[in-house]
Structure 1
């Protein structure tokens, strides 16, 4: 019976390890931690998601942004997870398409390879142009 208790105790100690911390992405006071999850706790990144278009005559810039949740980031010497915004764009100058990376938004499997990527959300003040 005593051996069964010891085995059960050792199993619980092995299984009940501490969880990886979940930290808010907009708080710079947290240290970097192996296995941490920098989460968009207040959904601050959601306000950037969508397609944004600027047009002036025959010149336009289209930017499409998407939110990716719990993306694994391999960063020596440790790895961590984070919520981030990724995006691609299309630029047309005087009716001529100069660059179009929008198709990459669905074809790239590593979010770090996208043309636009960010995990920081500005939460104080208004965004003014």
Structure 2
């Protein structure tokens, strides 16, 4: 009887461990209900408050690590350790856009991949009506600096597919120019 219990325990333990996969796991190799874990603590160095100035804009990033975030993509459901970016953008010291008070689940910038060069690729869902959606590449330089590159996708938004579209248009406030914006840790 003791041997049967030990065998069942060994099978259960190995099954659970097999579901914890590293961040570098390719999407095609992720089984349903797996846990993609930050086993090497690659995400921790990005966590914190970061600031940059671009022209008359001050950009404040608040990067948080969220463990076991539910992910539902195409035909797969799994859990992953991710980074979530909340931000606040000021022009002439006036807040023009902020997601600082969003919950982690409602924040619209979430990491989706650890690139070969060690940078993190983020998905940005866009602002109002999805305007500005695209990808953001953030590279860790050192303990006090990050490099930011935002590549917005173009979308045609009208008052038909965005009923509360403002008369003056929707402005993208996240900086996409110049390339390689350097953020400093606060």
* Structures share fold, TM-score greater than 0.5: yes
Q: CA RMSD in A?
A: 3.2
Structure 2, unaligned runs of 5 or more: 120-138, 140-146, 148-179, 181-186
For CA contacts below 8 A with separation 6 or more, give which structure has more relative contact order: 1
Higher-Rg member (1/2)? 1
| Greater percentage in helix | 1
Question: Residues 45 and 99 from structure 1, CA distance in 2 versus in 1: closer, same or farther, beyond 3 angstroms?
Answer: same
Contact 1:72 1:81 in 2 (8 A): yes
Which of the numbers 57, 60, 71 marks the counterpart of 1:59?
Answer: 57
Contact 1:39 1:82 in 2 (8 A): yes
Q: How many residues align structurally? A: 117
Tell me the SS of whatever aligns to 2:66. Answer: strand
Contact 2:33 2:77 in 1 (8 A): yes
Once the two structures are superposed, residues 3-62 of structure 1 have per-residue CA deviations (whole angstroms, 9 ceiling, x without a partner) of xx7xxx6xx76xx45335211112427612011111111111112111111125753011
Which of the numbers 76, 89, 105 marks the counterpart of 2:87?
Answer: 89
Tell me the SS of whatever aligns to 1:34. Answer: coil
Which of the numbers 96, 99, 122 marks the counterpart of 2:97?
Answer: 99
Contact 1:91 1:97 in 2 (8 A): yes
Deviating 4+ runs (over 4 angstroms): none
Contact 2:19 2:35 in 1 (8 A): yes
* TM-score after normalising by structure 1: 0.69
Question: Residues 66 and 46 from structure 1, CA distance in 2 versus in 1: closer, same or farther, beyond 3 angstroms?
Answer: same
Structure 1, unaligned runs of 5 or more: none
